[in-house]
Amino acid sequence: MKFIIREGKKEDMPSVLDLINELAIFEKEPDAVEITVDDLVNDGFSDHPKFKIFVAEEQSSIIGIALFYERYSTWKGKTIHLEDLIVTKSRQKIGAGKALYTAVLKYAYDHNFNRVAWEVIDWNTNAIEFYKSTGATYLNDWSVVQMNKENLAKFIKNN
Amino acid at 28: K
CB 66 within 8 A of CB 84: yes
Q: Which of 69, 72, 107, 131 is catalytic?
A: 131
What is the pairing mode between strands 4-7 and 115-117? unpaired
**Distance of alpha carbon 6 from alpha carbon 60, whole angstroms:** 12
pLDDT reported for residue 78: 98
Total-model pTM: 0.93
pLDDT reported for residue 150: 93
Region at 11 (left for phi over 0; alpha for psi -120 to 50; beta for the rest) = alpha
pLDDT reported for residue 56: 98
Listed residue (116, 118, 115) closest to 142, CA to CA: 118
Dihedral sign from CA coordinates of 24, 27, 31, 35: negative
Can you give the pLDDT of all 159 residues of the chain as single tens digits? 699 999 999 999 999 999 999 999 999 999 999 999 999 999 999 999 999 999 999 999 999 999 999 999 999 999 999 999 999 999 999 999 999 999 999 999 999 999 999 999 999 999 999 999 999 999 989 988 999 999 999 999 999
Listed residue (122, 4, 118, 7) closest to 60, CA to CA: 4
pLDDT reported for residue 1: 61
Question: Domains in the chain, please, with CATH?
Answer: 4-157 (3.40.630.30)
Contacts of 33 (CB under 8 A, 6+ apart): 17, 20, 21, 24
Three-state SS for 124? coil
- Catalytic (active site) residue 101: no
